[in-house]
Amino acid sequence: MQIIHISAECYPVAKVGGLADVVGALPKYQNELGMKSKVIMPFYDNSFTQNNKFKKVFAGTLQLGSDSLPFTIKSLPKKQLGFELFLVDIPKLLHTSFVYSDDDTRRFMAFQIAVMQYMLQLKKKPDIVHCHDHHTGLIPFMMSHADAYEDFRQTPSVFTIHNAQYQGWFSHDQVNLIPKFPLSKIGLLDWDNSINPLATAIKCAWRVTTVSPSYMEELKSEANGLQSLITSESDKCVGILNGIDTSVWNTETDPFLVKNYSETTVLSGKKANKKWLCDEFKLNAENPLFVFIGRLVGEKGSDLFPQVFKKALQNPKLSILLLGSGNKDTEKELLKVRKQFPKNYNTFIGYNEALSHKMYAGADFLLMPSRVEPCGLNQMYALRYGTVPVVSKVGGLIDTVVDLNENGFGIIHTEITVTQIVEAINRAVEFYKKDTVFRKNRKTIMKIDHSWHLSAQKYSNLYNSLKV
Ligand SMILES: Nc1ncnc2c1ncn2[C@@H]1O[C@H](COP(=O)(O)OP(=O)(O)O[C@H]2O[C@H](CO)[C@@H](O)[C@H](O)[C@H]2O)[C@@H](O)[C@H]1O
């Protein structure tokens, strides 16, 4: 079975967040199950594309409104990433140093048309087209209704929602960017008087998945305006929990770690990584170390951090290190907190893959007070690295973390408030003091299997159910 995944991100080619991790791992595991799974994404101008050699496999021209844009498709063989990779190179528009910008309607519309043009001329059409997030949300519509792509009417499409907060809205004034389709189908593009690629995908894809069962349930009551649509389409919707790529997230081989470790050497391994972090960021290594890694946006609850940290750090017996970027006011506030607590708090504003791995390894606790968390990968990386997750009770966090009070291994707070997050931190500090139990818990969590094997099989079953 041949599957084409279409996405804006894919690790290690280009990553902004968890979407990249999933698209960089799932196809690899699907290939191990005997499928032929490939990825198509934009060609960005970044260190990955600068340092790899690609083969040009197709050249064409696409029509974006009144503009004719030449594009090429470049490929990388399977042996390099575990799946064949195809990159859509559209000079100037997509060939940029960044992944997202203010011009994304045009950029990703052009990307989607180029993908359709490329797939149209393939001798063997894919058995499944699997699209990820709103940047690819108009592909199921084009496959079913655009005049030029009639060849795809019988090809099943699967659409995965990684985050329903972002929907790719644009105005009906720009409808001419979409390749010609019967006017009677305009309703499929519309939601609340805007063109809404996420809503369109939910309406048009043969199956819709999201990245955890609990998030699928939550979407029926809160989906940034799409809850009634999710509810009415629920027969074709299913939640499949993400996995993690255990070949990348492996404490024994991770090249970013100061010291590699296994369950048996976790004590010394984590100690060495913690020491590096504490030396680098001038923190007291005797204290339990809490970290946060992620985008500084409302969904992640990061706006509460300045207040949470000021309260929690009244206790000098804990340290906090944060890595992330996003909301500028939050960034400023977080930097200010450093002045008040120079010995047990620090923050790195920016994106740093290598540092993130060292933090999962060197930390004692990972903070994730998310308001919305479709799946969350960080908590699963933390578990695998022997770091206890301190999380809110939402989405995929419900499906992956069990509280200590329920014979579990993590710490859960039900409300996303300063008070409850600080209480959760205090509970964690008390847990850290129970040395033997704490150490035993570390070994237990490292053994939890969140690899992709099970979920890749679930996607396989879903694809098989769509065979025409
Ligand atoms: N500043 C930084 N430096 C280095 N690394 C950083 C970083 N900020 C984030 N990361 C990394 O980006 C990834 C974030 O993944 P998440 O799944 O937790 O969240 P995200 O909201 O991006 O993904 C969305 O899609 C994924 C995939 O489906 C869902 O799990 C999730 O719930 C949903 O919100 C992790 O690999 C993390 O280490």
- pLDDT tens string, the chain, 468 residues long: the values are 999 999 999 999 999 999 999 999 999 999 999 999 999 999 999 999 999 999 999 999 999 999 999 999 999 999 999 999 999 999 989 999 999 999 999 999 999 999 999 999 999 999 999 999 999 999 999 999 999 999 999 999 999 999 999 999 999 999 999 999 999 999 999 999 999 999 999 999 999 999 999 999 999 999 999 999 999 999 999 999 999 999 999 999 999 999 999 999 999 999 999 999 999 999 999 999 999 999 999 999 999 999 999 999 999 999 999 999 999 999 999 999 999 999 999 999 999 999 999 999 999 999 999 999 999 999 999 999 999 999 999 999 999 999 999 999 999 999 999 999 999 999 999 999 999 999 999 999 999 999 999 999 999 999 999 987
202 CA to centre of ligand 1 in angstroms = 23
* Cβ of 22 below 6 Å from ligand 1: yes
> What's the pLDDT score for residue 244?
96
- At 132, which helix (H) or strand (E)? strand 128-132
Respond yes or no on whether the N-terminal peptide bond of residue 182 is cis (omega within 30° of 0): no
> What's the pLDDT score for residue 468?
72
Residue 393 in contact with residue 399, Cβ under 8 Å?
no
226 CA to centre of ligand 1 in angstroms = 23
Residue 432 in contact with residue 224, Cβ under 8 Å?
no
Residue 401 in contact with residue 382, Cβ under 8 Å?
no
Q: What is the DSSP string of 216-275?
A: HHHHTT-STT-HHHHHHTGGGEEE----B-TTTS-TTT-TT-SS---STTHHHHHHHHHH
- Token pair listed for 195: 């063109």
Distances (CA, A) of 145 to 40, 224, 273, 310, 313: 21, 26, 54, 55, 57
71 CA to centre of ligand 1 in angstroms = 30
> What's the pLDDT score for residue 13?
98
Task: Among 7, 21, 455, say which to mutate for ligand 1: greatest number of ligand atoms within 8 Å of CB.
Answer: 21
* Cβ of 162 below 6 Å from ligand 1: yes
Residue 179 in contact with residue 148, Cβ under 8 Å?
yes
* Cβ of 294 below 6 Å from ligand 1: yes
Residue 112 in contact with residue 138, Cβ under 8 Å?
yes
* Cβ of 374 below 6 Å from ligand 1: yes
Q: From atom 26 of ligand 1, which residue's Cα is the shortest distance away?
A: 18
Domains and CATH numbers, the chain: 2-243+453-465 (3.40.50.2000), 266-446 (3.40.50.2000)
Instruction: List, as residue ranges, the binding site for ADP-alpha-D-glucose.
Output: 15
